[in-house]
């Protein structure tokens, strides 16, 4: 049976990891989900039954330290041979060609990345940059979170945002299709990239987060907005995974 694998090693926010697993369980209830550490990824046994490799939010510089070279080669080969990659927030930065994060600040991260499913620049934070805290990825300090209106096709959904990226000039890359935009900024926030025989879906926003589960430190106004759009956000995540990523690539309905 095909399996979903989620990366869960150093740098991954455990709160986000749990939220991603729950969201994937709702989207694909009949598909087993397992967590991998860096050694598992490098050994490559997971590729024998993998349907999807998911990279959650957190701190992508730690992903680099663990997966540089052999690990990234396994992930790239998996996707280019017909597999699927889902990258959210840090996982989306990590799946891009170049990261520009918090430039000219103490948190600056700038450099090339090996996966490069999106060959361009992933840049952020785009909202509330001065309030961003890495602790938010780990469910500790959510004070820098905000609700961002996201346009997907003909609808606008309020979604949880905290430090995520936009995909600069994504429309210039023929291998990439823009699926969602930051409505206020007119910058792509969700893209699908054709990578060999496989696909990668990258999202700068956290559609996997459930508004009912947000940490107490989340600003109350943000919580209220997200609670109002909870169903739309959950449905959008499911649609992106089952239709925009998996069904588009295989041509068959995934359940």
Over the stretch 211-244, which tens digit does the pLDDT of each residue have? 999 988 888 999 999 999 999 999 999 999 999 9
Confidence band of 27 (pLDDT split at 50, 70, 90):
very high
Query: Which of 12-16, 156-160, 213-217 is least confident?
Result: 213-217
113-139 as b/e: b if 16+ CB within 10 A: bbbbbbebbbbbbbbbeebbbbebbbb
Residue 85 and residue 55 in contact, taking contact as beta carbons nearer than 8 Å: yes
Answer yes or no: is pLDDT of 143 > 90.
no
Domains along the chain with CATH numbers: 3-125+164-209+230-250 (3.40.50.880)
Answer yes or no: is pLDDT of 251 > 50.
no
Q: What is the 3-state secondary structure (H, E, C) of 20-76?
A: HHHHHHHHCCCCCEEEECHHHHHHCHHHHCEEEEEECCECHHHHHHHHCCHHHHHHH
Distance between CA atoms of residues 96 and 138, nearest Å: 22
Residue 204 and residue 189 in contact, taking contact as beta carbons nearer than 8 Å: yes
Mean pLDDT along residues 90-96: 98
Residue 209 and residue 24 in contact, taking contact as beta carbons nearer than 8 Å: no
Q: What pLDDT does 134 receive?
A: 66
3-state secondary structure of 153: coil
Q: What pLDDT does 130 receive?
A: 62
Q: What pLDDT does 253 receive?
A: 38
- Give the rounded distance of the alpha carbon of 181 from its chain centre: 15
pTM summary value: 0.94
Q: What pLDDT does 140 receive?
A: 57
pLDDT, tens digit, 9 for 90 and up, residues 36-67: 999 999 999 999 999 999 999 999 999 999 99
Distance between CA atoms of residues 91 and 113, nearest Å: 11
Beta bridge partners of 111: 99
Residue 120 and residue 166 in contact, taking contact as beta carbons nearer than 8 Å: no
Provide the mean pLDDT of the chain: 92
Q: What pLDDT does 250 receive?
A: 44
pLDDT, tens digit, 9 for 90 and up, residues 70-87: 999 999 999 999 999 999
Tokens 């905000």 sit on residue: 146
Query: Which of 29-33, 136-140, 208-212, 238-242 is least confident?
Result: 136-140
- Give the whole-number percent of the chain exceeding pLDDT 90: 83
Distance between CA atoms of residues 226 and 180, nearest Å: 18
């Amino acid at each position: 049976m095909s399996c979903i694998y989620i990366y869960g090693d150093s740098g991954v926010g455990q709160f986000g990891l749990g939220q991603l697993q729950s969201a994937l369980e709702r989207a694909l209830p009949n598909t087993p989900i397992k967590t991998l550490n860096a050694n598992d990824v490098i050994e490559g046994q997971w590729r024998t039954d993998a349907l999807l490799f998911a990279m959650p939010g957190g701190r992508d510089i730690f992903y680099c330290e663990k997966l540089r070279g052999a690990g990234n080669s396994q992930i790239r080969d998996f996707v280019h041979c017909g597999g699927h990659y889902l990258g959210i927030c840090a996982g989306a930065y990590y799946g891009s060609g170049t990261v520009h994060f918090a430039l000219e600040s103490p948190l600056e991260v700038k450099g090339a990345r090996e996966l490069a499913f999106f060959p361009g620049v992933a840049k952020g934070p785009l909202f509330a940059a001065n309030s961003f805290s890495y602790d938010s990825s780990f469910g500790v300090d959510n004070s820098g979170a905000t609700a961002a209106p996201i346009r997907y096709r003909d609808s606008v959904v309020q979604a949880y945002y905290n430090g995520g990226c936009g995909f600069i000039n994504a429309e210039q890359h023929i291998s990439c299709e823009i699926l969602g935009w930051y409505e206020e900024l007119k910058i792509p926030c969700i893209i699908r990239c054709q990578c060999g025989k496989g696909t990668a879906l990258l999202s700068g926003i956290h559609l996997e987060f459930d508004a009912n589960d947000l940490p107490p430190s989340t600003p109350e106004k943000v919580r209220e907005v997200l609670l109002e759009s909870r169903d739309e956000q959950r449905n959008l995540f499911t649609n992106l995974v089952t239709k925009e990523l998996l069904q588009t690539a295989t041509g068959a309905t995934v359940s």
